[in-house]
A = this chain, B = another copy of it.
Amino acid sequence: MNDRVTLRDVAREAGVHASTASRALNPETRGVVSETTVHRVLEAARRLSYRPHAVARGLRTNRTMTVGMVVPDLENPLFPPIVRGVEAELGGAGYSILVGNTDNDAERLRTMVASLLAHQVDGLILATAAAHDDLVDELVERRVALVLVNRFAEDVPTSAVVGDDRAGIELAVAHIASLGHRVVGHVAGPGVLSTGRVRAKTFLEAAIRHRLDVDPGLVEEAGWFQVEPGRHACLALLDRRPDMTAVVAANDLLALGCYAAAAQRGRHVPQDLSVTGYNDMPFVDLMEPALTTICVPYREMGHVAGVSLLELMRRNPDLPSPPAETIRLTPSLTVRASTAPPRS
């Protein structure tokens, strides 16, 4: 069992002291060791197939080359691309990623973050932050290198990478308006989530700007970002305003709920009702009809978050306050088959 090759073994094999071997192995400090010695050490390490012991290194250097990432639900297709982007960026820089799944449970989030910090992660990426979150406060207080992704905290200055929801909804409304629609509904997401609120608010603003029919009855909030609530909400809209010719949904699943509602009321998408989604989830291009939706660059979001975190970790932690910028990634519109000019 004790076949582990340590630095001392390498040093002995190379006929030098362990400290010298350490310096020879580390590109940073390699300069202070003579070239021939470096060569001898490298050779010895290769012969013994030496593998550095990251834990021991971490204890001494206080840097573990690991970062923690917490998401609410990995099975929500939103998050895998983000994780992947983060992983690609940080993995390239030599970091490994510890991931956790909270199931939207604040308690699990706390224990998870505690565990990650106990493991001495060098940084943290949270995709779980609520708008006001004591945990985030605390982490900032403790000067943990922290980046929020997809959501952001409103009170505390933190680096965050999010999609520009305002721009996205604006794109959707502009598209619908340009097709000639005037009576346009909005199936809103739950008001407890920042995404739900921001998109609803922006919808109203954009509706005004595009001179659509502005009527509180044309907005219906779905209780959750799922198909079934979306169907219900859309039914309510259709029944209140039978003259409605288009719906901007706050999310793809809600949009698919609108498909169901339209079918239920005997209306065809897009001839009788245009529908737009949000997120461009996988496979919505294979739906019947293929969904016109807002494409958010989630993968890039992960990349950018990774870059930000690298930046933060590089910075000396007890130097001037960090800039804490919120980066908004601009989404794009993907027009497919679920939108068309109104029939009349």
Contact call B54/A56, Cβ cutoff below 8 A:
no
**A282: B residues at CB distance < 8 A:** 75, 77, 283
Partner of A74, one of B56, B80, B101, B283: B80
Contact call A81/B87, Cβ cutoff below 8 A:
no
Contact call B51/A118, Cβ cutoff below 8 A:
yes
Contact call A55/B119, Cβ cutoff below 8 A:
yes
Number of this chain's copies in the complex: 2
Partner of A101, one of B88, B114, B117: B88
Please report the C-alpha to C-alpha distance between residue A227 and residue B74 in the assembled complex, in whole angstroms.
24
Contact call A74/B66, Cβ cutoff below 8 A:
no
Are A96 and B96 also in contact (CB < 8 A) when A1-B318, A59-B55 are? no
Please report the C-alpha to C-alpha distance between residue A168 and residue B53 in the assembled complex, in whole angstroms.
44
Contact call B99/A97, Cβ cutoff below 8 A:
yes
**A112: B residues at CB distance < 8 A:** 91
Please report the C-alpha to C-alpha distance between residue A143 and residue B288 in the assembled complex, in whole angstroms.
51
Judged by a CB distance under 8 angstroms, whether A21 is at the interface is no
Judged by a CB distance under 8 angstroms, whether A191 is at the interface is no
Judged by a CB distance under 8 angstroms, whether A116 is at the interface is yes
Are A75 and B66 also in contact (CB < 8 A) when A55-B55, A286-B227, A288-B288 are? no
Judged by a CB distance under 8 angstroms, whether A64 is at the interface is yes
**A52: B residues at CB distance < 8 A:** 118
Closest residue of chain B to A115 (Cβ to Cβ) is B96
Partner of A286, one of B51, B64, B287: B287
Judged by a CB distance under 8 angstroms, whether A234 is at the interface is no
Q: List 23 A-B contacts (CB under 8 A).
A: A1-B143, A53-B118, A54-B118, A55-B58, A55-B119, A56-B59, A59-B59, A64-B119, A66-B98, A75-B282, A77-B77, A77-B282, A79-B80, A80-B80, A88-B101, A91-B101, A97-B99, A98-B98, A98-B99, A256-B283, A256-B286, A259-B286, A281-B283
A positions within 8 Å CB-CB of B: 1, 51-56, 58-59, 64, 66, 74-75, 77, 79-81, 83-84, 87-88, 91, 96-101, 112, 114-120, 143, 227, 256, 259, 281-284, 286-288, 317-318
